[in-house]
Amino acid sequence: MTNSDSEFLTSGEQSKSLSPIFTPEIQYWGQQIVRWAADYNLDPNLVATVMQIESCGNPDARSSAGAMGLFQVMPFHFSALENPYDPDTNARRGMSYLQRSLIAAEGNPGLALAGYNGGISVISKPQSLWAEETQRYLYWGSGIYSDAANGNVESPRLNEWLSRASGMCSRARDKLNLP
């Protein structure tokens, strides 16, 4: 990463800790999220937002499209010898992609989230041309991240998302043996 790239990633206030708004399944990974974020010069709350939406903290999550693990990384991002369900490996691939997305978005976290979901190329396209899934991802992710980054103690957007995705968090809670 060049110095000019890191300027995009460190502009403004960047949290060194995880917001309390995230679910217990995400808080479970709190120390790792902070470490992974630091490794890629990312805000841990942006990283937590991605994990919240992608897997709700379930390291064994798999989507119908074939994305895998905590950050729902597509198989082609892994080498043949890597275990995509290993949390550190999955985070390394996911954080690398999020970092590239944030650079392409010139530091705009909402656009970076859209790029994470829809592919970095969507960042340069009008939002009206994005897939509906990517538009929803921007809605959920930007609201959740904004609440976390602004120091809120709860997130109406996260609560709204949870009302639609409770099954995902229930599976994560079971996998992590949380009450």
Q: What angle do CA 49, 149, 96 make, to 5 degrees?
A: 45
The active-site residue, picked from 13, 25, 54, 132, is 54
Task: Measure the CA–CA gap between 117 and 69, rounded to whole angstroms.
Answer: 15
Task: Measure the CA–CA gap between 5 and 107, rounded to whole angstroms.
Answer: 9
- Residue 133 neighbours by CB distance under 10 Å: 11
Nearest to 147 by CA among 157, 139, 137: 157
DSSP single-letter state for residue 78: S
54 is annotated as an active-site residue: yes
Q: What angle do CA 8, 11, 12 make, to 5 degrees?
A: 150
Token pair in block for residue 42: 């990312």
Residues tagged active-site = 54
